Amino acid sequence: MTLYSKILEFGEFFHGIRRHEDFIVIDLRLPVSWEDDKILKSRGAKVQMKLGNSNETLKLVSFFNIFDEEGCNTLLDEIHSILKWNRDIEEKNELLNLKTLELQKMFAENNVDALRKLNFEFHKNNMIELNEDTDTTTVPSGTIEGPTGNPPT
């Protein structure tokens, strides 16, 4: 894949790329609500980041790593993961809002007896099944170590 195609993957978030001493630095302008540091830490903090200027909607984030082939590939992979994770969260929120509106309309237009018969049907390919034995109050244990220290307030 060419540098041009990698930059295209960053979309409207791409701000710049530069070399600083022995580091490659990629600057992105991300929405302030997006997770970045948390995602990097959850993936093992293979690259570093530094926050720059921000306004009410966007923040400048500089991601950097050693300037060699492996370091550049790792940097691109980690940035891709951050973008994918945040884009997925945005899409999930949009779908949740859409489905909430559909349900509100359905509840407004149907009587209680019809709503009692309401069922949800999911395709089995990637859905998590919930049953009576499933504990939905806790997150299942995983292999990724969570962040240490006290969360910011």
pLDDT for 58 equals 96
Residue 85: give its domain's CATH number.
3.30.1360
Instruction: Determine the 3-state secondary structure of 52 from DSSP.
Output: strand
By C-alpha distance, which of 42, 139, 142 is closest to 82?
42
How far apart are the C-alpha atoms of 86 and 11, rounded to whole Å? 13
Q: Does some domain include residue 127?
A: no
Domain that holds residue 52: 3-116
Given this model, what pLDDT does residue 20 score? 94
Per-residue pLDDT 10s for the chain (153 aa) are 788 898 899 999 999 999 999 999 999 999 999 999 999 999 888 999 999 999 999 999 999 999 999 999 999 999 999 999 999 999 999 999 999 999 999 999 999 998 888 888 877 766 555 555 555 444 444 444 444 555 444
Q: Is 48 exposed, middle or buried (0-12, 13-18, 19+ CB in 10 A)?
A: middle
- The answer to the question of residue 150 being in a domain is no
Domain count, the chain: 1
* Whether pTM exceeds 0.95: no
Residue 132 forms part of a structural domain: no
What is residue 152's predicted lDDT score, i.e. its pLDDT?
47
Question: What CA–CA distance (Å, rounded) separates 104 from 115?
Answer: 11
